[in-house]
Amino acid sequence: MTFDIDPVSFTAIVLAGMVGCLAAGRWLGAHYRGRREQDAPSVSTVDAALFGLFGLLIAFTFSGAMARFEGQRELIREEANDIGTAYLRVDLLPAPRQAPLRQDFRDYVQARLDATNDLQSDAFRAAGQARADALQRDIWAKSVGAAAEVQGPQATTLLLPAVNDMIDITTTRAVSAEAHPPVVIYAMLAALAWASSMNAGFGMAGAGRRSLFHTVGFVTAITLSCYVILDLEYPRKGLFRISSADHILRDVAAGMAK
């Protein structure tokens, strides 16, 4: 099961937990070091194993998030190519049939841009997707009807597959946008961040005075890593907006207007 996770909220929770765990770990460390030295536990091996596991999890989640981010951007390029190809093959239809179909293509590209506009509300995007779905059906019906009027197989074998690809890619993009790791992966990421903070606090207890520099540096590095991972995983919510690639579709729309 997957859920949409807000990068800022997740990072804030991790940050608060890390600060609390660092304080708790320091208190526990001071407690143990208050005993006789031979009673103090040796935890260096545990620390190494824990931080190693945490590092691996960060590496794997970052790698997966980056791959999905690039995959979604590639699908935008693929959709733009599919739309452009189908639009060009409208030339195979009888001249009277071309103008209405070309206008539908222009409206369709704008509807697709509206459906993925992360600067607008959910209702705006839903309305854009509804228009795009209606235009898909209209473009397909008009293409089938016009292709039947053409002598020879060119329109049927070239235009209709191109229109079909243009429609299919929208489903591929929708599935790709919802493809995220199970929420348990992020729960584990947060839990290991807190456990590592506990151990770090425990280890710093022997320093006497608390090092604000090391504390802030450790917490900042971990929380920023978690934020970047979530931001890449949900690229229409945070700083790394995949909408920067939407200009490819806008370029296709501009070419249709000429």
Residue-level pLDDT at 2: 46
Residue 90 has pLDDT above 80, yes or no: yes
Contacts of 243 (CB under 8 A, 6+ apart): 116, 117, 118, 119, 236
Select the more confidently predicted residue: 138 or 201: 138
CA distances from 105 to 100, 140, 162, 163 (A): 9, 11, 13, 10
Select the more confidently predicted residue: 173 or 210: 173
CA distances from 72 to 99, 178, 238 (A): 32, 10, 15
Residue-level pLDDT at 1: 42
Residue-level pLDDT at 177: 87
Task: Pick the most confident of 162-171, 196-205, 209-218, 236-245.
Answer: 162-171
Residue-level pLDDT at 42: 54
* pLDDT tens sequence across 179-233: 888 889 999 999 999 999 988 888 777 666 667 777 888 899 999 999 999 999 8
Residue-level pLDDT at 41: 52
Rounded to an integer, what distance in angstroms lies between the CA atom of residue 167 and that of residue 58? Answer: 36
Residue-level pLDDT at 43: 60
Residue-level pLDDT at 150: 87
* pLDDT tens sequence across 9-63: 899 999 999 999 998 988 887 777 665 454 445 567 777 888 899 999 999 999 9
Question: Which pTM does this prediction carry?
Answer: 0.81
Confidence class for position 141, pLDDT limits 50, 70, 90? very high
Across 233-253, average pLDDT: 83
